[in-house]
Amino acid sequence: MKQLKSLLIAALLFAGISQTANAQAKVAHINVSDLMTNMPEMKAADAQLKKLTATYDTEYNSMVEEFRKKVAQYEKESSTVTDAVNETRSKEVQDFQKRIQDYQQNATKELQGKQEAIYKPIMEKSRAAIQKVAKAKGYQYVLDSTTGSGLLLADGPDLLADVKKELGF
């Protein structure tokens, strides 16, 4: 009877350990930053954003150059004009400076909005590919191994090559 009890307890313990071993989650990692950088869509998006940035920069630089010319002209002529003219010019310079600052702020906001709009479908496509590969390989968790993401050790399987293959590059 004692042996039967011991055998039963041993069987239950063995079954519990087997369940625990089977219940362990499969975990993999991927450097999402590397994936996104290498995607052809991302390279095209970066080129588009670079072109838009150059357009804003050109406009901003021309506004600043015009501002500098006006300030130089007004400083040069300040001693030969009346106080009323100098006061009007001072107000004009301040207004122009405010216009430049407003332009810079609006351009930054527009660039950020455009960047989000362009990157969102690319990020969704990469996320879907990561999920598809992870499910196909039986992983319950995939961690981002990008530097600074909080992952301290990436010793498990890396899905980067498989996801690149899924995305076709």
Let me know if residue 12 belongs to a domain. Answer: no
Let me know if residue 7 belongs to a domain. Answer: no
Tally of structural domains, the chain: 1
Let me know if residue 127 belongs to a domain. Answer: yes
Let me know if residue 101 belongs to a domain. Answer: yes
Task: Read off the pLDDT of residues 37-49 as tens digits, 9 standing for 90 and up.
Answer: 999 999 999 999 9
pLDDT band for 20, please (50, 70, 90 cuts): very low
pLDDT of 24 strictly over 80: no
The tokens describing 125, both together, are 């496509």
Chain centroid, CA 129 distance in Å: 18
Let me know if residue 5 belongs to a domain. Answer: no
pTM of the model as a whole: 0.67
Look up residue 80 and give its DSSP letter: T
β-strand partners of 141: 27
What range does the domain containing 97 cover?
Answer: 25-167
The tokens describing 5, both together, are 């009890």
pLDDT given for residue 58 in this prediction: 97
